[in-house]
Amino acid sequence: MTDVVTYTRHDEIAVLRIANPPVNALSQAVRQGLSDAMDRAESEDGVKAVLIVGDGRAFIAGADIKEFGKPPMEPNLPDLCTRIEASPLLVVASMHGVSLGGGLEVALGCHYRVAQPSARVGLPEVHLGILPGAGGTQRLPRLTGAEKAVEAITTGRHIKAPEALELGIIDKIEEGDPETVGLAYARDLLASNAARRPVSEMPNPQGIDWDATHAALLKKGRGQLSPATAMRAVQAASELPFDEGIKRERELFMDLMNTDQRKGLIHAFFNERAVSNLPELKGVAPRALQSIGVIGGGTMGAGIATACLLSGLNVVMIEMSDDAAEAAKGRIGGNLAGALKRGKINQEKHDNLLSIALEVSQNYDSLKDVDLVIEAVFEEMDVKKQVFAKLDAACKPGCVLASNTSYLDVNEIAASTTRPADVIGLHFFSPAHVMKLLEVVVADQTAPDVVATGFALGKMLGKVAVRAGVCDGFIGNRILSTYRAVAGHMVLDGASPFQIDDALTDFGFAMGPFAVADLAGLDIGWATRKRKAATRHPDERVPTYIDRLCEQGHYGQKTGEGYYIYEKGKRGGTPNPKILELIKDEQQTLGITPRDFSDAEIVRRYMCAMVNEAAEVVGEGIARRPLDVDMTLLFGYGFPRYWGGPMKWADIQGLDAVLADIERYGQEDAWFWQPAPLLKQLVAEGRTFDDLNKEAA
């Protein structure tokens, strides 16, 4: 027996308790412990039933993800589930907290399942790029039917106990200590002479239209393989005897295990958690946070206020006039109505948030008691400085003064106050109550506990907070401007914006760069180009064909015309033929003979530009670790999660191959394609970005 599984006798019942904190993952020691304990229960006189329970906060959260990619160790999980199910004893699972992945599969290997009312179950393996590989795809559909199993397995969603009961996944809900509840249930079953009930012996579920479902899943997954592959395993449950179905599940599981997508998704899983673990913040307590000031009630300010309200913080919003205050209240009200509609809050909470937790004022004195204030006014340094001078005068000592600037110099903003140590950048992404990313921008003099407070706020709001240093655009927007630029270069050289958007959505991006530009408003890029024109390097290639469209008052989605034409009532747009004409004119003016691009070349150039700039950002310390870049792009820029982020993508391609391509592109445009020193160094040393992540851990 191992330490992580204990065995105790309660008359006729042997209790197997798993204690492998924090979430009872099924490590080799746990699997061995369960297997040994089953042997012991079966060999001891008088044992008639086995009860499996978990210690701490969960029954079992699944296979131990840290073991993936390492040589397999016996006993393997599918065999363990089969072994439990084949026991001549009556086997019961008493589930609390979460029973996920292999955890639910162990429970499905038991003959009966009782759960706490608050318990949740699920098979979330597809989010890790794999499928339930310990019989889940074969046993679950025998209980729920194929359609419900496909839905549960391909979404990986957590199912609450009442629904799990309705679906037949569990047999009973009972509140109380899980061991006490499980023992009582096992005793009842023994008293009523209940038979062993192996799910594998239940009839095959009826089939559904497998091919149509497979096609729909591929489309919905935007290139992600695991949901559609998992569906094929459920199909096997419907069409094959149990043992053959298990074999098919194993084959499909191994296929997925060997994919880059599995590596990318597991990288995302661990680093989504690691990103907020900053060595410099160990032992640094954040300042108290109860009430938040928000300056400016536009889309961004209203989104920030909504996020704070929904997380239980009081909000004081400052606006400049009665009309602006009313409009701000309206925006927040609209956001909260959305939360009400989606069932995130009830009517009473909605009303209280608007009438009690929110105060909209035109007077900075109303901020005197707030703990942290976030400025979300017009993106202009002078305007920001004026606001910070007022905040400096109005806010109490120790109040954190934050700017939501997306690219301005936070050091300069901080220097305009008498308390630069209290000043920080908190860069939200629009809509701020929806988007998960928060860049915590640390200026030269920002105090450590102010940084810790930025991360604490991120956690309270359910955001993925990433530490960034000060530079134009911080981590995300700085990298964005580089890969956006290479898309422009490819248009000048012959790829159409529509081909580029399609190639990148096929790669897995939520949207291509030109559709994004339409959404953001073409006037924004136009203004930036005008502002930067005077200081632009002579070798920098900047397409200006789109300015002709802006001059005619077409700014993208908001005016109905941009790269695409948008018809009222229709989702998405259709390519605007004018664009190709404008591009042709510019190519002629510049003397460019357009050439063909393959989709693969488009993706490669786009990704190489992204990785090269990201390596600069890490090399300069703007991002501390490559994983900070990966999480920024995943949670703020629609980067496909199954690639893990641009740095993980580069590691998977091989950094030497990425560098070689950058150097080759540099033969055409030496100004743009300058290999980042960090990239060159890693290639010379034979190391990867992930090595840097590990060294920083």
| Residue 359 annotated among the catalytic residues of the structure | no
List residues near ligand HSC by CB under 6 A. Answer: 22-23, 25, 61-66, 72, 76-78, 98, 100-102, 105, 124-125, 128, 132-134, 136, 270, 273
Closer residue to ligand HSC, CB minimum distance, 102 or 178: 102
Closer residue to ligand HSC, CB minimum distance, 62 or 636: 62
SS3 content of the chain, % helix, strand, coil (to 5): 55, 10, 35
Angle at 621 between CA 616 and CA 625, to 5 degrees: 90
How far apart are CB 238 and ligand HSC at their closest, in Å? 19
3-state SS of 660-693 is HHHHHHHCCCCCCCCCCHHHHHHHHHCCCHHHHH
| Residue 125 annotated among the catalytic residues of the structure | yes
Closer residue to ligand HSC, CB minimum distance, 274 or 592: 274
Of 424, 466, 439, 449, the C-alpha closest to 282 is 449
How far apart are CB 134 and ligand HSC at their closest, in Å? 4
- Given a contact cutoff of 8 angstroms between Cβ atoms, the answer to whether 90 and 171 are in contact is no
Residue type, 372: L
- Given a contact cutoff of 8 angstroms between Cβ atoms, the answer to whether 606 and 488 are in contact is no
Main-chain phi, psi angles of 478, to 5 degrees: -65, -45
How far apart are CB 213 and ligand HSC at their closest, in Å? 21
Closer residue to ligand HSC, CB minimum distance, 58 or 618: 58
Active-site annotation holder among 12, 85, 125, 272: 125
Closer residue to ligand HSC, CB minimum distance, 72 or 203: 72
How far apart are CB 225 and ligand HSC at their closest, in Å? 16
Q: Counting Cβ atoms within 10 Å, is residue 243 exposed (0-12), middle (13-18) or buried (19+)? A: exposed
Angle at 407 between CA 402 and CA 412, to 5 degrees: 60
Closer residue to ligand HSC, CB minimum distance, 23 or 181: 23
- Give the DSSP letter string of 310-369: HTT-EEEEE-SSHHHHHHHHHHHHHHHHHHHHTTSS-HHHHHHIIIIIEEEES-GGGGTT
Q: Counting Cβ atoms within 10 Å, is residue 71 exposed (0-12), middle (13-18) or buried (19+)? A: exposed
How far apart are CB 142 and ligand HSC at their closest, in Å? 16
How far apart are CB 110 and ligand HSC at their closest, in Å? 16
Active-site annotation holder among 42, 67, 74, 105: 105
Closer residue to ligand HSC, CB minimum distance, 282 or 537: 282
How far apart are CB 586 and ligand HSC at their closest, in Å? 49
Main-chain phi, psi angles of 113, to 5 degrees: -135, 125
How far apart are CB 274 and ligand HSC at their closest, in Å? 7
Place of tokens 């743009």: 672
Main-chain phi, psi angles of 564, to 5 degrees: -120, 160
Please state, in angstroms and rounded to a whole number, the distance separating the CA atoms of residues 402 and 387. Answer: 11
How far apart are CB 405 and ligand HSC at their closest, in Å? 30
Closer residue to ligand HSC, CB minimum distance, 134 or 399: 134
Please state, in angstroms and rounded to a whole number, the distance separating the CA atoms of residues 556 and 16. Answer: 62
* Residue number closest to ligand HSC, CB atom: 101
Closer residue to ligand HSC, CB minimum distance, 257 or 592: 257
412-420: long-range contacts, CB 8 A cutoff, minimum separation 24: 412/381, 412/385, 413/381, 413/384, 413/385, 413/388, 413/443, 414/443, 414/444, 414/445, 414/446, 416/385, 416/388, 416/389, 416/392, 417/388, 417/389, 417/391, 417/392, 418/392, 419/392, 420/444, 420/445, 420/446
Active site residues: 105, 125
